Chain A
Amino acid sequence: MPRDLTLSFLAFALVGLLALGAVLPLWVVFLLTVAFAKALVVIGLVVMMRAGLVSFGQGLYYGLGAYAAGLMANFLGVTDAIALVVLGGAVSAVTGFALGFVMARYREIFFAMLSLALSMILYGILVRSSTLGSTDGFNLPSPTYFGLAAEGAAGRRVLYGLTVIVTIGVAMVLHRFVRSPAGVIGEAILTNEIRVEYLGTSVARVLHVTYVLGAVAAGLGGALVGLAAGHIDPDLAYWTTSGEFVFVAILSGTGHVAAPILGMVVFETIRTFAFQYLPYTWQMVVGIAMLAVILFLPSGLWSLFIRARYVKGRT
């Protein structure tokens, strides 16, 4: 059995990224904050995809998490970042648990379309709610940390730190999950559900748990993005947002929970530069990048690492 170094690797990455946060230019810190927060959503999605649940509606939980945090900050005056992020995850968890009873019964395209439909219901509600700012959304106050205000540049760096901690933390937890009995049974469900039932395990229950984990990750990501941008609007729940998560999941590959972190950083970097230099055709650049990955790395960016290790093992 090859030794699994993921947890130590992630712990090192956490320390390294936190240190980098103090020295990197502010625009890079912001780019990485958004990338890590969105990577959280994709990490959850990748875990779901391993069990065959390809959700085209993670925007539902992404939007819910952001709006839960935003509403709590604006209407109840809670500004503590950690409380807001935890709330975003919790609201998504509760919603995911309730909807999971229905969703765990659907597979493949039916699951994908139903998840898309649910996210568009949230989008529709948000767009029509004038108290929530309708299509414009609303701004969030700057968050505080344990009662300490962190404004301007310092605030951005602190929020970056929080995002890195939450994202790497969730990746560690979900890495344990995919290697647990429930996680591997999820992979077994992908190819032979009947056999799993005939081994005495409830397929619906395993898929339900997996679905809730995906929802929580998306909710945490949504709350963090809301705090980073200082603004939220219904586009967070729009289907193109959900589609982007699937896009990055495929770009990253489902082989490892850390893959989406890499994938999302690459994606956000390509998009930022493409948008700056080719403002009218940036989507084409992103599309070509995707095409290249599908052609040359069909298992996603992560396969670069797998291949390297495989070759090393052979020589």
Chain B
Amino acid sequence: MSEPIVAARGLKKRFGAVVAADDVTVEIRPREIVGVIGANGAGKTTFVNMVTGYLKPDEGTIMFRGADITRLPPREVTRLGIHRSFQVAQLFPNLSVRDNILVALASAERTRPSLMAALRTRGSIARVEAILAKLGLQDDAARATTELPQGRRKLLDIALAMAGRSAVLLLDEPTSGISTGEKFPLMDLVLEAVVAEEAAVLFVEHDMELVERYAQRVIAFYEGRVIADGAPAEVLADPNVRRYVVGAELHRRPEGTKT
């Protein structure tokens, strides 16, 4: 088995009395597709936030290709090739769909954005058109992001995350708020792009059907701890996972109510 590309060891994070992460150890290997499951508040997003530098763990280390990235801010983690999408799409509502992607491409290209070169050139717009066409967003280029339906907003959010070359892509509930029929095409589209880039993916997901279908490995969180980590069939059959995660999913609130 190859060396892990991301190795988080013994992560601990408290928010007052709540332990959001307790001795979390997770490894992601190159080109792996990992599904993360767990009820609301199990610590999935906290984990993603710690890996990407948004939250600093109280204890533990995060290594990327052998280098310690525990204390790096999001912008430096991003520059290393660890990219993420958000549960609620994080877009620039004052810019067009095209400009959203142009900003992402420009950011990926240079650490210090150019002050005098034109952002919108024939070449850069052609690149955006290609990206939009791949995602089926070609007709939305000139639209405001606020006019997009939820599914397309999520797609655009992922497109922003993938504008640079990703080594690891962390998708926080990529299909939340999307109708059941749209979920599979979205995952197909995203994973196809990821595989083409040879990136590793970790996706947080509530829909077990989706996890079973796409994940090569599944990690289950419960109250800030990793309670299972392994092949999907194994993890989903685990009695603790069935009781605390899969069972909880059957009773969870409807889509979109989670904040």
Contact = CB atoms under 8 A, between A and B. Distances in A.
Interface of A: 1, 173, 176-177, 179-185, 187-188, 190-192, 194-202, 205-206, 209
Contact of A181 (B52, B73, B100, B114): B114
B78 A200 contact: yes
Contacts of B54: 194
B96 to A, nearest CB: 11
B115 A195 contact: no
Nearest to A199: B107
Chain A interface mostly helix, strand, loop or mixed?
helix
A216 to B, nearest CB: 12
Contact of A197 (B73, B92, B113, B120): B73
Contacts of B125: 1
A180 B115 contact: yes
A173 B116 CA distance: 8
B102 A184 contact: yes
B79 interface: yes
Contacts of B26: none
Contact of B120 (A179, A182, A194, A195): A179
A192 B86 CA distance: 13
Interface residues of B, number: 41
Given A180-B118, A195-B160, A198-B74, A188 B113 contact: no
A181 B104 CA distance: 10
Contacts of B73: 197
Given A184-B95, A190-B94, A195-B160, A200 B114 contact: no
B164 A192 contact: no
Given A179-B120, A180-B119, A199 B114 contact: no
Contact of A184 (B83, B93, B99): B99
A262 B9 CA distance: 61
27 contacts: A1-B120, A177-B115, A180-B116, A180-B117, A180-B119, A181-B103, A181-B117, A182-B114, A184-B95, A184-B99, A184-B119, A185-B106, A187-B94, A188-B92, A188-B103, A197-B74, A197-B78, A198-B52, A198-B161, A199-B107, A199-B108, A199-B163, A199-B164, A200-B78, A200-B164, A201-B75, A202-B111
Given A177-B116, A179-B118, A184-B119, A195 B92 contact: yes
Interface of B: 52, 54, 73-75, 78-79, 83-84, 90-95, 99-100, 102-104, 106-120, 122, 125, 160-161, 163-164
Contacts of A183: 115, 119
B218 to A, nearest CB: 26
A199 B119 contact: no
Contacts of A199: 78, 103-104, 107-108, 160, 163-164
Given A195-B160, A209-B115, A202 B75 contact: yes
Nearest to A204: B75
A192 B119 contact: no
A200 B95 contact: no
Contacts of B163: 199
Nearest to A176: B116
Nearest to A192: B92
Contacts of B99: 184
B118 A192 contact: no
Contacts of B106: 181, 184-185
A192 B146 CA distance: 13
B91 A195 contact: yes
Contacts of A202: 75, 111
Most buried by A among B79, B118, B125: B118
